Amino acid sequence: MTTQAQDELTPAEIAKNISKSIAKLVIYIVLYVAVSALTKYLISDALPKLGVSVGEYEVYAQILLALAFGFMIAGAVAGFFYWSTIGKYGHSTAAAIRNVVRFVGIGGMLAAIAGGVAGGAAGVALGGFIGMVIGFASQQVLGQTMAGLFLLIARPFKIGDSVIIAGEEGVVEDVTTLFTMLSKADGVKVLIPNNAIIGGKILLKPREQ
């Protein structure tokens, strides 16, 4: 679906997609619980009765299930936020929110899995450490994403405005999650990180009549 088509969605279509996202989320959670329980039963009870002992591999099977369903659940939650905001803020802002929610959800999932594997106090420490590593590694990207989300919601300027931001002068061509694109008078395209715009001076030049 193109951006134009998304912008033309009716409230009924948006509500339908929200319902689909919620249904997917519920289905994925129920499936994960069921498949996880079935896997535990097969490895711990059914297979040993047949003389097959694979108990030491149960933790790896559960990790794979958690990763697979975790990505799907994070995607469903992100989809819910997307369809819940697209009607009010439009595709660009809704997509930015969806990306942030998915990113945070996957990071939390990985930290939780790491903590669960270690177990106990060691699990809490390991989960916290993994979370810190993910946080530091993604600090700049997440900062730019949040700055882009703020710009998309606050809209201090819009596409087509002639501006001076971060020392660059040009016409705003696009505002994405990470960058704002300006087109300068000589035709050069400039990508400005959104976190360089937040907190800085923004000059809006009057439109030519």
Q: Which CATH number belongs to the domain containing residue 167 in this structure?
A: 2.30.30.60
Q: What is the mean pLDDT of the chain?
A: 77
Q: Which residue has the higher pLDDT, 188 or 124?
A: 188
Higher pLDDT pick, 135 / 203:
203
Beta strand 179-183 pairing with 162-165: unpaired
In a domain, 151, yes or no: no
What is the reported pTM?
0.61
pLDDT of residue 31: 93
Residue 193, pLDDT > 90, answer: no
Whether residue 180 sits in one domain with residue 128: no
Look at residue 115 and tell me whether its pLDDT is greater than 90.
no
% of the chain residues with pLDDT over 90: 9
- pLDDT score of 111 more than 60: yes
**With contact defined as beta carbons under 8 Å apart, do 94 and 86 qualify?**
yes
In a domain, 156, yes or no: no
53 and 106 share a domain?
yes
d(CA 141, CA 145): 6
Give me the pLDDT at residue 8, please: 67
pLDDT of residue 119: 53
Q: Same structural domain for residues 198 and 125?
A: no
CA 103/CA 74 separation, integer angstroms: 8
Task: Report pLDDT digits (tens) over 143-169.
Answer: 666 777 777 777 888 888 899 998 889
User: pLDDT at position 135, please?
Assistant: 54
The answer to the question of residue 148 being in a domain is: no
pLDDT value for 152? 74
> What is the number of domains present in the chain?
2
31 in a domain, yes or no? yes
Domain that holds residue 37: 3-137
Counting beta carbons within 10 angstroms of the beta carbon of residue 201, is it exposed (0 to 12), middle (13 to 18) or buried (19 or more)? exposed
| Per-residue model confidence (pLDDT) at position 2 | 45
pLDDT above 90: residue 27: yes
Structural domain contains residue 188: yes
Question: What's the sign of the alpha-carbon dihedral 108, 114, 119, 125?
Answer: negative
The reply to whether 26 and 114 lie within a common domain is yes
When pLDDT is averaged across residues 68-93 and rounded to a whole number, the result is 84
- Band of residue 182 on the pLDDT scale cut at 50, 70, 90: very high
Mean pLDDT of all residues in 98-120:
70
pLDDT at 122 over 50: no
pLDDT at 126: 47
21 pLDDT more than 60: yes
17 and 72 both lie in a single domain: yes
